[in-house]
Structures are given as structure tokens and as C-alpha cells.
Chain A
């Protein structure tokens, strides 16, 4: 009987896969109570490092053309598709669901990722425009990326909830720090493997597995973070998160499984420019 080589699930920061600087892990068991893996238990320092990586990636990512971002997101979808079997296997192991339900979730996730990939080079057209002000001035409004956005992933579904939150955040040129599902962390790290092979620049997406209650306060108070998607946080802690985030007026939003360009625009800023017309 052949022994398989088990995977080590580490963090994804700055395009690399480090262990937690704290050296901690936690035990992940399946529904039957059997051991699956020891994913990393990230610390505040890992989160600190993730924000540094995300910040240093913002210039390159936001100044890439929308077309380029769209192509990279589409490439991620190509990689997701080619690894669907792996995702399905992990969802089944973590969730205890059937193959067919897992397959459906993976298909939906890939299609959703493709949908957002197609938004990259259209969001400015949909949300920007020329403003007809009453004077000889050319005036246009253009949406721009915010910067570093935190994403607190919902506990489930393992892949779809990640895709729902992450794709719209980065489509516009933001970079992301993800706090993954505690109960289903493996999917987020397998997603990280996909990201690492998709021409996505290092640091655009960073993924931390660990305890949400430990990491969220450090994310919500970090002054270098510009926005947070709190859809995956315990709603009872929303007020607390918003109070903590108010020191630098973070743009904090909760979405209820919403799928729309509003999720892209929620983490963008509108810039309006005037220029006189005349010789």
C-alpha cells in the first residue's frame, strides 16, 4: 500500500509560504473526528507582515492596466479550474458533504471568479463619467482603488465565500489581507497555491489562517489598512470592529452573500477632476 505525501499548510504572505512566526498550529479534524492537518495559527506579527506585503504591492497592482488585472484574474480562474479536483476533495474532507455538492460549489466559485475578472476593465465605464457642470470646464469622475483591504472570510462555504469577497476587492487594484475560515482553512491555502502560480504579483493577496478573535482586533486597528469586508466576522462584534476602525476612518462593509459590482465599488474612491476649456 502506497503512503501518500501529506501537505503542510502554511501561511501565504508576500507571495511566499512562511510558517507562523509564533511557530503555532492548530489541529484540524474532519466531521468524523479524524485528523486532517495542522494549519498555521497566525499571530499579530504575521498579520503585521501581511499588511506590509500588501502595502508594498499596492502601487504596482493599482497602476497595472485594468486589462492586465483582468487577464491575471482570468488566469487565476484557469488555475482554479485545473485544480478543481483538489478543491473538491478538501471541501468534502472539511465539510463532510457529498462530492456532487462540493463539485457544484467549486463550479460556482470558478464562474463567479470569471465574472469578476470581466469587471476589471468595465468598472470605470459603469461607475465613472463626464459631469455636465455649468461652465467651460471639462469635469470627469473616475473610481480608484483604496489601497489595502482586509477580508474576513465567512466560515462557509469554504471556496465560494472566499471568492465572493476576494475577487471584487482585488479587481479594482486593491491588495488584500485575508483572515480565513477557522473551520475550513485548507481551501484558503490551496487557493494561495493557485494564486502563486497565476502571475499575480507577490503581496496582492495575503492569507492568514488562525483564530479570528485573535487576529481581527489587530486588523481593525491597523492604521495602514484602508478598508475591511467584515462579512465573515461574528455580527455581535461589528460595532466593536467599527469603533476600532474609526481611528483612520476605514471603509468597513458587511455583505450578505451579495454578488454585484457594488462589492467592487465599496472599496474604491471617486476622484473628480476639473480642467478649463479655452484657448
Chain B
């Protein structure tokens, strides 16, 4: 990115706004407690590999304590709290998140590796909005079309991923609390810090002890939560692989689950698309959040008649993507969340090349420490390639072409996933026709990666069960509605 005429000065966001403790415990029954096993593990900044803090490892005993706390809170306080008071707790949480937004944005960028511009402008505001939106539902459930007086499940076990830590927390906790449930939340192994800071928000909002409990740990911790006999419902966002395991382990236990799993979204550009906007949309679709997005537009389905021109523009645009320090406000693409994820991305990219697709990466200087991958596209990809079928979860775009709209639909739907799709065309009737054909839970037309608490999100087929957001998302937490 050498430009002698106009070099942008670094614009670092200050870290001093957030105080990170040297170590954390679990947040159970309104207090931080030491882990039963006394074991803690490090959470690092993936951009520098610096250790940020040590968090507690949750075992079955910790999970049991948390579930008991959630049950007690449900029975003794939360189920007795009037809906309009529940609403006011959630409004408070939303407002405090807004007040402390910058603090959370910086912490999220440090722990996750994504750019500060994204945490500041997207993750944190959306998380606050999610609480604000669901606060308003708490005392209006009879208007949600889910029955005259829908009832909560009770104690909900929630497991969230590392790609949008605080946002995923809000997608889980806000509707659960609004509908009257209490929660045991297990944040992702590599990104626990904003969840732990969120415990402070619960304190500041005066939320009764035990309504929200946070147990940190790894996959085993999550399994312990899913398998606990006294939870009434499971909500999980993560890989399809683990989602299927969860489906197996709850089978026969009489408890439901919502699963928000993987995807291999097709971003479809027709010849009559608004080209410059489509280029931006494709770029955003795969490079936003380093491609660590379940609904990423990771397959570009490009109408063959405009392919060469379009790919040229795409590459020119990719050359302008700034990869680097997540805390620098100039940065577009941050670090890959972990060494493990980086290895996966590299392995799949390797397969792309070895299976015969053509690779091109934007030339950029990658920092020496930390986990990094340049924005990359593969052209000449077909549905038979692994990189067209498997979720890479990184900044890697697979480009396929199509001749006719029908062919585009066939290719787009030719996947066990069904989370998202994008449609780029100026023709309204074609948008609606394609939307009708596509087997995807979220369809973006002439835009991409747009989220709103009022808009239900979730996938078809192996992309999961159920929806989050909107009145449809409330159903997940109310008995008898699903």
C-alpha cells in the first residue's frame, strides 16, 4: 500500500478507556466466583498474541452452580417480576451499553481482533439496540401473535461464538430475559472479555442476582451446559458440526433448541446489477469481520457476461483494503481470531489451489506477530471444489459463474446450508423472483450484511433451527410456540 503522495497517518484508538483485570472468575448469582477446578486459561489479542487476561475454566460443578442460580432467580424473583419492570431492566441495560459503548468497542477489538471501526459502528450499537428493542416486547408479548399469555421456559442454556462476542450475547440474552427466562451463558473460549464486562452492566442496571450467569470455558464447558438435566432450553450459535452434536444430545429430553449454524452464502450478481455498488457489496459480503461471518457472501455467483470486467473492478477494490492494527481507525481488515482458525483457512485455501482454482491475494504487508490472512479470491471455482462447499470462515471469496437466472438459483441452492443469499440487479421483479427461489433464511437485495433487532435472522437446512430478532425470534423463548 505504498503511496508517496498521500499516506494516511495512523489513527489509533486509545486503549486506556477500558480496564482489563489480570484474571476473572465466573459470574454466578450476581458475584464473581473462582472456578471450582481453580484452573484458568489465557485470552490473547490475536493481532499481537499479547495475553490480555486469564479467565476461569468452567467444569460441570461450575455449570451446576450457575444453573441452580438461574433456577433460583427464575423461581424466586424473575418470574415474579412484572413484565413492565422486566422491560425497564432491559432498557437500563441498553442505555448503559450506549453510555459505555466506546469502552466495549475497544475491548471487543482487543479480544477478537476485528477493527475498531466495526466494533464501534456496528457490533456495539447493534448490541445496545437489541436490548432496547427487546425491552419493549417484555410487556407486550400478547401482541406478538404467539398466544394470549405466552410463558417462558425457565432456565435457558446459551452458547455463543467468537465472531461477534457482545452482539451474539445480546441476540441471546435480550430476548430470553424479555420473555421472562433466566440465563446461563457460555461465551466463546477465545473471546470472553466483553461478556465478563457485561456482568458489570447487569450490576449497574440493578438486575436481580442470578438472572444472568456467565461461565467461561471451552467446548467441554459448553457440553456440560447442554447436558445439564435442569435446563429447559438450549440456544446455540456456532459450527454446524457442533450444532448436530447438540441436536443429538437433547434428543429425547423434551427440551427444544435454537441453533444458528454455518453457511456458504451465495452472493449473486446479475448482468443488470448496479456494478460499483455490487462491487462494494461483494467486498463487504466476504471481508467484513475478516469473513468470520456465518452469513458471509462467501460464494460470488457472477453472471458470465460481465465476469471479466467485474473481476477487474473487484481486484482493484481489494487492493485498497487496509489490513493491520485493529485499534487503528484506518484499518479495514483485522486479525484472524486464533491460530486454530488461521490454520483452517490456510488448509482450505491450499485445497482451492490444489483442486485447480486460481488464487489471487491483495498485496499487503502483514504484521509479524499475530494471526493474519490477506484478502483473497479464487476464480474458476465450481460447485465441486471444497472451497465452494465448505465454510472457510475467513477472508476468502470463491467465484463461480452462471449463464441464466435459473442456473444461478440452482447453483445457489446446491448446498446443505441455507443461511443467506445476496441478489444484485436493478430489476425489481427479478429480485422478488430470485428471493422466492432461494432457500435461504436471510436474503439481501442490493445490499449485504445488514442486521437489525426487528429483522428475524436464521437459516434453512443445516444452517440451523429457529430465528433470532423480530417477533418471530420471540417464539424461541416462549413455550408452546415452537
Contacts and interface: CB of A to CB of B under 8 A. Distances in A.
Contact of A115 (B139, B405, B433): B139
B140 A278 contact: no
A121 B91 contact: no
Nearest to B454: A121
A2 B430 CA distance: 76
Interface residues of B, number: 30
A67 B133 contact: yes
B136 A126 contact: no
Interface in A160-192: none
A125 B145 CA distance: 10
Nearest to B144: A126
A62 B140 CA distance: 23
Contacts of A278: 429-430, 432-433
Contact of B132 (A71, A125, A279): A71
A138 B433 CA distance: 9
Given A117-B136, A122-B136, A275 B470 contact: no
Contact of A122 (B87, B405, B427, B454): B454
B430 A279 contact: yes
Contact of B84 (A67, A115, A277): A115
A119 B129 contact: no
A261 interface: yes
A234 B103 CA distance: 55
A118 B471 contact: no
Given A125-B470, A277-B433, A119 B133 contact: no
Contacts of B133: 67, 70, 121-122
Interface in B424-442: 427-430, 432-433, 436
A268 B73 CA distance: 41
B137 interface: yes
Residue of B135, B405, B470 most packed against chain A (CB within 10 A): B135
Given A111-B84, A125-B454, A126-B143, A119 B428 contact: no
B411 interface: no
Contacts of A71: 132
B154 to A, nearest CB: 24
A21 to B, nearest CB: 40
B140 A122 contact: yes
A29 B87 CA distance: 39
B130 to A, nearest CB: 11
A74 interface: yes
Contacts of B228: none
B140 A119 contact: yes
A122 B471 contact: yes
A277 B95 CA distance: 42
A25 B129 CA distance: 45
Interface in B122-159: 129, 132-133, 135-140, 143-145
A276 interface: yes
Given A276-B432, A278-B429, A278-B433, A118 B454 contact: no
B385 interface: no
B137 A122 contact: yes
Interface residues of A, number: 24
Interface in B82-127: 84, 87-88, 91, 95
A114 interface: yes
B303 to A, nearest CB: 12
Residue of B95, B129, B429, B470 most packed against chain A (CB within 10 A): B429
A70 B132 contact: yes
A252 to B, nearest CB: 25
Nearest to B98: A71
Nearest to B136: A118
Interface string B450-466: 00111000000000000
Contact of B428 (A114, A122, A275): A275
Contacts of B95: 74, 78
Contacts of A279: 405, 427, 429-430, 433
Contacts of B137: 118, 122
A118 B141 CA distance: 12
A235 to B, nearest CB: 30
Contacts of A122: 133, 136-137, 140, 143, 454, 471
Interface string A37-69: 000000000000000000000000000001100
Given A114-B87, A279-B430, A119 B454 contact: no
A126 B144 CA distance: 7
B135 A67 contact: no
A121 B136 contact: yes
A71 B135 CA distance: 12
Nearest to A119: B136
B313 to A, nearest CB: 25
Contacts of B144: 126
A52 to B, nearest CB: 32
Nearest to A118: B136
Top 6 nearest A-B pairs (CB, nearest first) are A118-B136, A277-B432, A276-B429, A138-B432, A278-B429, A279-B405
Given A111-B84, A276-B432, A278-B433, 15 more contacts: A71-B132, A74-B91, A114-B91, A118-B138, A118-B139, A118-B140, A121-B454, A122-B136, A122-B140, A122-B471, A125-B454, A126-B471, A275-B432, A278-B429, A279-B405
Interface of B: 84, 87-88, 91, 95, 129, 132-133, 135-140, 143-145, 405, 427-430, 432-433, 436, 452-454, 470-471
18 contacts: A67-B452, A71-B132, A78-B95, A118-B135, A121-B453, A122-B133, A122-B136, A122-B137, A122-B140, A122-B454, A126-B144, A275-B429, A277-B432, A277-B436, A278-B430, A278-B432, A279-B429, A279-B430
